[in-house]
A = this chain, B = another copy of it.
Amino acid sequence: MEIINHTLNVKTKGSGDLIDITEQISGLLHKSKLTKGNVTIFNIGSTAAITTFEFEPGMIKDMQELYEKLVPSDRHYHHDDTWGDANGFSHLRAALQGPSLTIPFEKGALMLGTWQQVVLAEFDNRPRQRKIVVQLIGE
């Protein structure tokens, strides 16, 4: 059994930017030569999250509207008073969605559905350079 840590560097455009990182994760799995195990994807930081969905334009728009409905960006949050950077909504969305995901793999392939992609959800109100841990454990 082996543990391999990688860090993906992903440039984002700020709030509402949803980025499909499935291929990058599959690429790292392929390079590792591991065949059975799991990969943990973890976003370092408090204003982005990781989830899975079918990555197509309609769904992307729906997700953006859902986040906006659950945690509106146009109101004032207590956190905004702490740093004066007006991204309280970003922190709340990230905490609700969660920073990590663990996906099993078998025969060297991620056990995802055909229409199920791994997505980095950027919530911050400005472009960011994200560091995403991709940790493979397996044999």
Which residues on A are within 8 Å of B, measured CB to CB?
1, 3, 5, 36-38, 40, 42, 44-46, 51-54, 56-59, 61-63, 65-66, 70-71, 77-82, 88, 91-92, 94-104, 106, 111-113, 115-116, 119, 133, 135, 137-139
Contact = CB atoms under 8 A, between A and B. Distances in A.
A58 B77 CA distance: 8
Looking at chain A's contact residues, is the secondary structure mostly helix, strand, loop, or mixed? mixed
Nearest to A34: B3
A62 B91 contact: yes
A66 B5 CA distance: 34
A98 B3 contact: no
Contact of A98 (B37, B51, B71): B51
Contacts of A61: 78
Given A56-B82, A62-B77, A103 B42 contact: yes
21 contacts: A1-B3, A3-B139, A38-B40, A38-B135, A42-B111, A44-B113, A46-B54, A46-B116, A51-B98, A51-B99, A52-B98, A56-B79, A58-B79, A59-B79, A62-B77, A62-B78, A66-B71, A98-B98, A98-B101, A100-B103, A102-B102
